Structure 1
Amino acid sequence: MSNKPAYKRILLKISGEALMGDLEFGISPKVMSFVAEELKQVVAAGVQVALVVGGGNIFRGEGLARAGMDRVTGDQMGMLATVINALAIQDAIERVGLQARVQSAIRINEVCEDFIRRRAVRHLEKGRVLVFGAGTGNPFFTTDSAAALRAVEIGADLMLKATKVDGIYTADPKKDKTATKYDELTYDNALDQRLAVMDQTAMVLCRDHKMKLRVYDMDRPGALISIVMGDQTIGTRVHA
């Protein structure tokens, strides 16, 4: 590893479920503090950081749609849940001494900014951590797709997906003890094998724009800064 960061600008995708920690519902203050401290190390290294956050710890529109709710209404409620999480992450980041901004894909000006690409890039250039909420602002699109879209829009050098396992496996390692981990994959490999990396829309967008992806265990202390500094042994690398 070099003493200089391997990436200038990154985008980190965190699921809503990851924010629950050991809770059954809601937001874990312990997880929020951990994420903020991990980000502080990365910002201190001179790396520009953006995040996209999910909302599954509060509400999943797709689940209620299967139970009979209108899918568009359910997805709109899910978008609002991601804004709640984004505001919580902003608060945790600011409590460790960093500056943060939340930008929403839907208009909710009383609590955060609208997403404007040029303004987003300017925030990053000023060293602020940028948190994107409300997904893409459209129903039927996941926050994985939002993360891929924002990563491409802001010109990120690397997109990271923080999960509960240390990479991509041939099967769910919690259910299949024979599952083996991939150190490296192409998007075409992942799509052909239908690996549960991200939804297919997100993977195709990353592939077509040659966006590098790293899937790693977010609970591992120091993993994020190690990846940013060039460690190629953590998680699974996915590329075009």
Structure 2
Amino acid sequence: MTETEGAKPKSYDRVMLKISGEALMGDQGYGLHPPTVARIADEVDSVHKLGVEICMVIGGGNIFRGLQGSAQGMERTTADYMGMLATVMNALAMQSALEAKGIHCRVISAIRMDEVAEPYIRRRAVRHLEKKRVIIFAAGTGNPYFTTDTAATLRASEMNCEAIFKGTKVDGVYDKDPVKFPDAKRYETVSYDEVLQKHLGVMDASAIALARDNDLPIIVFSLDEPGGFKGILEGRGTYTRVHG
């Protein structure tokens, strides 16, 4: 449970960046905050310039969350599909921000909507990555009852990514909520099984189990730290590594 400053850099050629929809709303309570979207695009741009191939999955909680809709009496399947459509809106916003920086980007949707996004075809997606295009996977897995965490782990496995970078509001995984408990301890590394057994809240159980089964490490870091994404790839920064 020590800081990871000065750790030996790990070279990655292809990674998945998973962020929540809430990360795009800045200080607002809802929706998209364009300056925040542009700031996150800057983070992606800095890593893209290192030659790293990048996939992204963005949640939809800033617009609509299926579980919350279901809790308010909406039929769960319908609510989940609405949540998937929210992720497409976020993906298009991020695509626009990345293209404004001169980065070639493709939004690939698990639900067909050919006018705004490409359908998911694995070999085509891999080819985009090989051409150094940033891919944003939208609409989750295309199925209700699965979170965008699970979608990110599934797509990362299919794309042969070497790690999932989970951008959050805190700089790693803690034994309890660091916002509520000042004495919370941060893990430098933690196993998949420990995350599941202690309910550490890194990702949902399905995503963690899928990552474990495919030996796919998860790097949890603060997306609010400027340069944090690039810093980890260069061997700097504070983060938690979840692995076997």
Place the TM-score, normalised by the shorter chain, in its bin. Answer: over 0.9
Deviation at 1:167, TM superposition (A): 0.5
Deviation at 1:229, TM superposition (A): 2.5
Q: Please, which of 202, 211, 216 is the counterpart of residue 216 of structure 2?
A: 211
Q: Please, which of 97, 106, 121 is the counterpart of residue 102 of structure 2?
A: 97
Q: Please, which of 146, 156, 161 is the counterpart of residue 151 of structure 2?
A: 146
CA distance in 2, matches of 1:122, 1:229: 26
Aligned to 1:238: 242
Contact between 1:7 and 1:229, CA under 8 Å: does it hold in 2? no
CA distance in 1, matches of 2:114, 2:83: 18
CA distance in 2, matches of 1:186, 1:79: 30
State the Cα deviation string for residues 106-134 of structure 1 (Å, max 9, x = none). 11111010111111110010010100000
When normalised by structure 1's length, the TM-score is 0.96
Aligned to 2:227: 222
One-letter amino acid of the structure 1 residue matched with residue 98 of structure 2? I
Deviation at 1:234, TM superposition (A): 2.1
One-letter amino acid of the structure 2 residue matched with residue 73 of structure 1? T
Deviation at 1:28, TM superposition (A): 1.0
Residues 55 and 181 (structure 1 numbering): CA distance in 2 closer, same or farther, change over 3 Å?
A: same
Aligned to 2:28: 23
Q: Alignment partner of 2:216: what SS?
A: coil
1:76 aligns with 2:81: yes
CA distance in 2, matches of 1:103, 1:130: 7
1:164 aligns with 2:169: yes
Deviation at 1:203, TM superposition (A): 0.1
Superposition pairs for residues 180-195 of structure 1, below 5 Å? 180-195=185-200
The aligned length equals 239
4+ aligned runs moved over 3 Å, structure 1: none
Deviation at 1:158, TM superposition (A): 1.0
Q: Alignment partner of 1:110: what SS?
A: coil
1:49 aligns with 2:54: yes
1:63 aligns with 2:68: yes
Deviation at 1:5, TM superposition (A): 7.0
Contact between 1:5 and 1:46, CA under 8 Å: does it hold in 2? no
Deviation at 1:192, TM superposition (A): 1.1
Q: Alignment partner of 2:17: what SS?
A: strand
Q: Please, which of 85, 106, 113 is the counterpart of residue 111 of structure 2?
A: 106
State the Cα deviation string for residues 8-67 of structure 1 (Å, max 9, x = none). 000000100111111111011111111111111111111000100100000011111111
Contact between 1:10 and 1:156, CA under 8 Å: does it hold in 2? yes
Q: Which moved more, 1:135-144 or 1:5-14?
A: 5-14
Deviation at 1:84, TM superposition (A): 0.2
Q: Alignment partner of 1:195: what SS?
A: coil
When normalised by structure 2's length, the TM-score is 0.95
Aligned to 1:11: 16
CA distance in 1, matches of 2:114, 2:238: 39
Unaligned runs of 5+ in 2: 1-5
Contact between 1:216 and 1:234, CA under 8 Å: does it hold in 2? yes
